[in-house]
A and B are shown apart, each in its own frame.
Chain A
């Protein structure tokens, strides 16, 4: 092994040990949070950031804020980035427990209602009344949410809530959303025009000084640089950084790739058999089958990669032509397919465990400087290095 590589390995090991020591400071850390994907806005502001937490208010919240489905009972927009947008359409006080509990616990509804009956001050007759109404409530979570949003949800009011002022249950007034996004786009267009104009002026001055080379030569050099197959990783990294900024600024979402994959899985499951996922809290609430912002981003990633290959004329359907792979495994494509599948299963499983993959957790989380991103990258590198060492053996 050449000394430069050895130095690099030692340096990285030192950095890793330092990071591991840092992790020890994080350990008296968080209450266990069952997170499989990015938490909702509700959870982020109220629980993670601690603004008006509800996790200790009452037995029900204590036992249920472990999960992340505030909007099922309270409405609102779980993905909005500002308080106003998130609280649009929200119901503040909520009393129709029979119908909401039923959507997750259809077969044990009576046990659930009785568990919280004491806390809610229900008498035996009230419990019976609630259970009677439960049998005629909405059949599942989707119907329930539709009823909440249309405001037609009815049910027995609890004794003490019946005396509450009616305005407490009125949804928060809707704000006009997203007028800011168009303004931002305009600023970017103006900025782009300014940058383009100044670039043109600078290049033109240079051209005049250098003795009248045709302007097209400069433009075609730029175009040729764009079409190169391999950019400097620094340049590509800057582009990705800007993409992340745009994503937060205009899209009001973070980049993510493992989340949409899970959502697509949920969509496929739902398409194959709509009732198959009924028993699974994960498929109904954590990754509900819906084409959302992240799924469109995912499609865009696929198209963008193809665009990159098309502009560099390296687009080709191929099974297995990577030289390093061939050196280690030989030419047979079946090995690539099998290992590719097995590795992909591990990739998605690991991403779900960690709460994101390299784009959603490492890059987007790293952008926001969350410890989770760096912990994830540390784990990724440790096991990646060991795996490659085992797989490559003497050719390492």
Chain B
């Protein structure tokens, strides 16, 4: 008699985005993987929740949500860009709290915490931000230019950039979790991607794709295939039960 092993994959949003972006992933992920899309406070269905004052608040809030939802030892966390930093820090919280660790973290579209970006975002005009988004390959660029909604969506994005500005990593803390890094080869936020190795004990798996920051739009099926193989095949998704 065999029992199917359950896996949980927690997915976090990226800057300016709702985690609902990942709805299109659901039909491609292996059925044994229970997906939990975790929204940040102040966004989407959590729009009434008070927004975070700083990155640490975001980490703590999302860590608590994930901790309360974990009901298997086989859980994993995925994050792109801002989500990658959050996924890393949340996995460290499990480590420092001496809880069961995620089996792996999947960090996409962002180099290690050593590198900081958008430090001077308040000095950029809307046009400059939109121009940058365009170069990064953002999917719905026109929403940021829309006369009715553009200002609002830019404020969401800049809010998340400001959140990242409050993130301060003095010295790397070595994560004991298995790490997988995904990035677009021309992504300016993925410079020195190998620097992530300074933050992990185990050797990282690093996957490079064609594209810039939003390489993820055109390569999500390939990313999912890697995740499926990593989660399902490495755990041989059936165990024998007497």
Query: A and B from one assembly?
Result: no
